[in-house]
Structure 1
């Protein structure tokens, strides 16, 4: 029993290291999103850090329109980045979980 506990502790530490490495790698995974008409383009990391925003000149004439474009496009990009982030971190966490009956149903 004590050996099992030590093995689980080792596996937990290994999983923590894998999660940390995955988080670092997600800083290099880019998520792009464009407005439906292509006038605004944003790029985020999978950790939801904004890397770039490209605005078409025509949007600079109307402050309210630009704000609306930014809100809609950034929200879509954040949603995509969150999905990538959760999928990657969830896979690492699931891989490192001890084999407890019924636990895999939590990750479906």
Structure 2
């Protein structure tokens, strides 16, 4: 019994380290998104940190249009980054869950 608990604790600690390693790796995974016409481009990490924004000069002439573009493209980029982030971290969490009776909802 005690050995089982220690084994589970070790597995959880190992999973926690894998989660931290995955989070660090996701800082290097880049998500690119751009407007349909290519006038605005945004790059985020899979941890949803903005790395770059490229704005075509024609958008600088219309503040309202630029704001609309930023909202649309940022939301699409954040959604993509979130999907990658959740899939990667979810896979690590699922793989690292110990086999506890009644806790198979994570499998």
Indicate yes or no: 2:73 matched with 1:73: yes
1:102 Cα offset (Å): 5.6
Aligned mates of 1:89, 1:60 — CA distance in 2 = 38
Partner SS state of residue 99, structure 2: coil
- Give the gaps of 5 or more residues in structure 1: none
Task: Find the counterpart in structure 1 of residue 94 from structure 2.
Answer: 94
TM-score (norm 1): 0.94
Superposed CA offset, 1:52-74 (max 9, x none): 00001100000000000000000
* Superposition RMSD in Å: 1.2
The answer to whether the Cα contact below 8 Å between 2:35 and 2:73 also exists between their aligned partners in 1 is yes
Indicate yes or no: 2:56 matched with 1:56: yes
Question: More deviation in 65-74 or 92-101?
Answer: 92-101
- Give the gaps of 5 or more residues in structure 2: none
Moved over 6 A (4+): none
Aligned mates of 1:16, 1:49 — CA distance in 2 = 22
1:104 Cα offset (Å): 4.4
Aligned mates of 1:81, 1:27 — CA distance in 2 = 11
- Given the superposition, is the C-alpha separation of residues 106 and 97 from structure 1 closer, same or farther in structure 2, using an over 3 Å criterion? closer
TM-score (norm 2): 0.95
